[in-house]
C-alpha cells in the first residue's frame, strides 16, 4: 500500500489516551506504556483530501497479554501450513485459555466457542460506551478479545448507528451500527481457518455455536443497557424500552 509504517504525534496521543480510558471503563484493551516523540518529519494527508502536511512522528509502546489475531490463524490456513497452525493454536490455548485441557480432543471447538462469547462481550462493551473501532478486519480482531490496533477510532457525540470515524471508509462497512455484524463475519473467517483441524462432527457443532453468536451479543448488549438504566430483574418490556430510547435518541 506504499505506506512508510510511521505514526504521527496526534494519532499516537489519541491512542495513548483512548487505550487508558478504555481500560478504566472496564473494557478489555491493550495499554500504552510510553509515548516517544520522534525528530523525524512525517508527511500525511489527514483527511484524504489531497492536503498533505508535515507532522511530527511518534512511537507508542503498546502492552497486551497477546497480539495473536484471527488473521494469525487465517494466513497459515490459507498457505496450507496446517502443522504450524496446529502448533500455534495449541500454544495459544495453553498460554491463554487455561480452562481448556490440552488433552481434550474437542479443545479447538472449546476455543472457538470461548472466542465467540468473548467477542460478543467485547463488541457489546464497545457499543455501551459509543466506541467505533474504525477498522474491524480480521487482522485487528484479537483472539483474546481485547481492543487492539487503535487507528481511526471514534466515540459518538450523540446516538447515530451510521457513525463512521474512519474518513477512508467510503462504504461505511465499519460504521458503529454494523460492528456486531462485522464481528460475526470475522468469526466465520476464524471458523473457516479452523475447519482443516476439525472432524466432520466438530465442524457441524462449530457451525451451530457460530449461529448462537447473535443471541449472545444481544443478551450482553441488553444487560449493559439495563445496568445503565438502573433496571433490575427481568421484565418483558425491558427490550422494548431500550429500543424505544435509542430511537428517541436518534431523533434528538
Integer Cα distance of 216 and 149 in angstroms? 25
Q: State how far the alpha carbon of 3 is from the alpha carbons of 8, 69, 120, in Å.
A: 13, 21, 32
Name the active-site residue from 139, 160, 169, 238: 139
Catalytic residue flag (residue 139): yes
E-strand spans in 14-148? 31-44, 53-63, 131-132
**Is 44 within 8 Å of 52 (Cβ atoms)?**
yes
Reduced to 3 states (helix: H, G, I; strand: E, B; else coil), residue 37 is strand
Positions annotated as catalytic residues are 139
Amino acid at each position: 500500500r506504499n505506506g512508510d509504517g510511521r505514526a504521527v504525534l496526534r494519532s499516537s496521543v489519541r491512542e495513548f489516551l483512548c487505550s487508558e480510558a478504555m481500560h478504566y471503563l472496564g473494557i478489555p484493551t491493550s495499554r500504552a506504556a510510553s509515548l516517544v516523540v520522534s525528530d523525524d518529519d512525517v508527511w500525511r494527508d489527514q483527511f484524504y483530501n489531497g492536503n498533505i502536511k508535515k507532522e511530527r512522528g511518534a512511537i507508542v509502546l503498546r502492552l497486551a497479554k497477546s497480539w495473536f489475531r484471527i488473521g494469525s490463524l487465517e494466513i497459515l490456513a490459507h498457505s496450507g501450513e496446517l502443522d504450524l497452525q496446529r502448533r500455534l493454536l495449541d500454544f495459544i490455548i495453553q498460554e491463554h485459555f487455561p480452562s481448556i485441557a490440552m488433552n481434550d480432543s474437542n479443545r479447538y471447538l472449546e476455543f472457538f466457542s470461548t472466542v465467540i462469547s468473548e467477542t460478543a462481550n467485547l463488541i457489546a462493551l464497545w457499543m455501551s460506551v459509543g466506541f467505533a473501532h474504525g477498522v474491524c478486519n480480521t487482522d485487528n480482531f484479537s483472539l483474546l478479545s481485547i481492543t487492539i490496533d487503535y487507528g481511526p477510532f471514534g466515540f459518538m457525540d450523540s446516538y447515530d448507528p451510521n457513525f463512521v470515524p474512519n474518513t477512508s471508509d467510503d462504504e461505511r462497512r465499519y460504521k458503529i451500527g454494523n460492528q456486531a455484524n462485522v464481528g460475526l463475519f470475522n468469526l466465520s473467517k476464524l471458523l473457516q481457518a479452523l475447519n482443516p483441524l476439525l472432524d466432520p462432527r466438530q465442524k457441524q457443532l462449530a457451525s451451530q455455536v457460530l449461529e448462537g453468536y447473535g443471541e449472545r451479543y444481544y443478551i450482553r448488549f441488553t444487560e449493559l443497557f439495563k445496568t445503565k438504566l438502573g433496571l433490575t430483574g427481568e421484565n418483558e418490556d425491558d427490550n422494548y424500552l431500550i429500543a424505544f430510547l435509542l430511537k428517541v435518541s436518534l431523533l434528538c
